Structure 1
Amino acid sequence: MESIKLYINYVATIVEAIGVLTIFLGTVIALIKFVLHQKKNVSNNYITLRQSVGKAILLGLEILIAADIMATVVTEPTLKSVTILGLIVLIRTFLSLSLQVELEGKFPWQKREKPQSKN
């Protein structure tokens, strides 16, 4: 049983690294695109940069939440560890929700407005 816990701990650490890399690489790619588009005088560069970085952060946060859950499963389920996991998930979920509202201008449960058809 200890060897399984060790492997799950390794997997959780790898998933955490993937989450951090996702945020880092997404930000670097967004900045590169921003600089390239600056030279072409493309409008709305700043908005596109913010949305790209926000999407990278959202994806990275989701991956980090998964890693936290895996790491908590390995440890003994004490009230303290479950409470800490709950707080981490709550904070990261709030951040994800806030970013998504800022990026899309609506809550995830709100329906998208259908575009008006031209007749």
Structure 2
Amino acid sequence: MDFARIVEAVGQAVDLVGVAIIVLGALTATVLFVQRLREGGTPQEAYRSYRQGLGRAILLGLELLVAGDIIRTVAVAPTFTSVGVLALIVLVRTFLSFSLEVELGNRLPWQARRGGDVTG
């Protein structure tokens, strides 16, 4: 097996893990949402927790999908076109990640958390 095939297989494996995290995270968040509702939690609290759990799963999955794209694109003879496509993919996924981060935290990433904690 040559280097290019190994790198492609590793990139696909990282992509697979990213997709699995998104799917499993969505399923887990949904199960927890239903469980909270059944246990008598308020719909607003259950919904907020559901959105946060789902958002975290999507964020982590997106990070792995970006890593898989980087591995496959730049590890083996990158061309200007392939690097340009990668840049666009990373730009879109970074925007999605940023938007999710803002949505989950109700603040911009560089703003201090409520309670005065400035650590991430």
Asked if these proteins are the same fold (TM beyond 0.5), I'd say: yes
Equivalences, count: 114
Q: RMSD between aligned alpha carbons?
A: 1.3
Identity, in percent, stands at 44
2:104 maps to a residue whose letter is L
In structure 1, distance between residues paired with 2:115 and 2:31: 33
- The residue correspondences of 1:40-79 to structure 2 (distance < 5 A) are 40-43=39-42, 44-79=45-80
The SS at the match of 1:27 is helix
In structure 1, distance between residues paired with 2:114 and 2:105: 12
In structure 2, distance between residues paired with 1:113 and 1:46: 21
Alpha-carbon contact 1:12-1:71 (below 8 Å) kept: yes
Displacement of 1:113 after TM fit?
Answer: 4.1
The SS at the match of 1:85 is helix
**Aligned twin of 1:16:** 15
List alignment gaps of at least 5 residues for structure 1.
none
In structure 2, distance between residues paired with 1:79 and 1:93: 21
- The residue correspondences of 1:39-118 to structure 2 (distance < 5 A) are 39-43=38-42, 44-115=45-116
In structure 2, distance between residues paired with 1:75 and 1:63: 19
1:96 maps to a residue whose letter is S
Q: Provide TM-score, normalisation by structure 1.
A: 0.90
The SS at the match of 2:52 is helix
List alignment gaps of at least 5 residues for structure 2.
none
CA-to-aligned-CA distance 1:49-91 (integer Å, 9 cap, x gap)? 0111011000000010000000102443211111100000000
